[in-house]
Structure 1
């Protein structure tokens, strides 16, 4: 049984269609598609136990990050794995910096270390492994005040729509200076932003 939980119905439909297109590769796997939040799913009485749970770039949107992570862990059978993929490196540092200035009820400004902190505090002798991918993204346009492309890129990384227009000048400067000085490297005429990802494999022994 593969249970897919995704509150954005259109995205869930895309996955459902992909499954149908690749059905010959799934070999008798039964799918259960749920267009609800993970919190809504966890509150349901029919909650099941799983051998593996995958939360890929989704913990940013958990309403109660710590409790949801712990509830997912409790849904694992003995020997099961909770897999998370989150921002790491420069991008994690950057979104944490943005979170010092902005709050959003729908979004947590976090990265991999937030998950590590939770499991190390809440699960004695937890066993987990990790794989990190080094990624770099050209953000040179972000530092050209008139660049429309740069504005779009900044919106994506800050998770704030129209950041350049909405942010107070002092805050905007502090955040962009931090991005350039602490999270980027220069390569010839380009400014490259460190957008690493890290996977955690958390085992329930």
Structure 2
């Protein structure tokens, strides 16, 4: 298993990530709830503004970003919008750029691409005398990969303009992801609990919305299933699940996934992927 925190995806990791998205409804469920939560927030954020600046941190392939930017445009069609994007993966950023190129309504939005780890972006921004501030900042499923979530949150909150919002999407502390990480991947992923603790310790006002979610992992228990192998590889942050662990550890992971991380319905195994949407006030 890889030591240290993984901060970006390349190569096989990108393929496993795309496979995961294709075989689950993670983005669909996330967007359904974000649309409901963000539309009234965008209306509040943009009141009286002559321009709107957005920062995406860990945006990956941009599938969710383009939808949020389109939502913001729909609320304020006459207000100019800029977008800064921070991500450490060249491959995923290229996918994002291609998506923008094929989305007509985004052609008028100037994008600034920062292909680097979020920690490096922080250092770069702090070195400037005039830091760009933002009306809306989002960090979707990326805080697991930073060295210091407390400092990361403090820094990005400092970049909010008056009446701005910081959106954090993170796996809920009760989800199967956290159960898996605590048992087998302690050195790789931060647990969500410190996020709320960090917000409270900094005295920041926030609203949290817990979103129930699950996806079918039945194929993970079929040793000859390619689908199961790809899902397990993504879920354990490895290039190849079968080759990354000893038989005993593989068996232990599968037992944990079935018995502690999932529910069984009609003979199918559904992994608990409950997540939290946290809106932090400026």
How is 1:148-187 mapped onto 2 (pairs within 5 angstroms)?
A: 148-187=226-265
Match of 1:129 in 2: 207
Whether 1:77 and 2:161 are equivalent positions in the alignment is yes
Deviation, structure 1 residue 56: 1.2
Contact 2:176/2:272 (<8 A) preserved: yes
Correspondence for 1:92 among 153, 166, 178: 178
Deviation, structure 1 residue 177: 1.7
Deviation, structure 1 residue 54: 0.7
RMSD across aligned C-alpha pairs, in angstroms? 2.3
Secondary structure of the 1:198 match is strand
Match of 2:88 in 1: 7
Secondary structure of the 1:60 match is helix
Deviation, structure 1 residue 81: 1.3
Once the two structures are superposed, what CA deviation does each residue of 1:68-101 show, in whole Å capped at 9, x if it has no partner? Answer: 222111222232211111222222322332224x
**Number of residue-to-residue matches in the alignment:** 195
Secondary structure of the 1:145 match is coil
Structure having greater relative contact order (Cα 8 Å, sep ≥ 6):
1
Match of 2:121 in 1: 41
Secondary structure of the 1:159 match is coil
Question: Where do 5+ consecutive residues of structure 2 fail to align?
Answer: 1-81
Match of 1:50 in 2: 134
TM value normalised by structure 2: 0.62
Deviation, structure 1 residue 109: 4.4
Cα 1:171–1:20 shift into 2, 3 Å: closer
**Range with bigger deviation, 26-35 or 179-188:** 26-35
TM value normalised by structure 1: 0.82
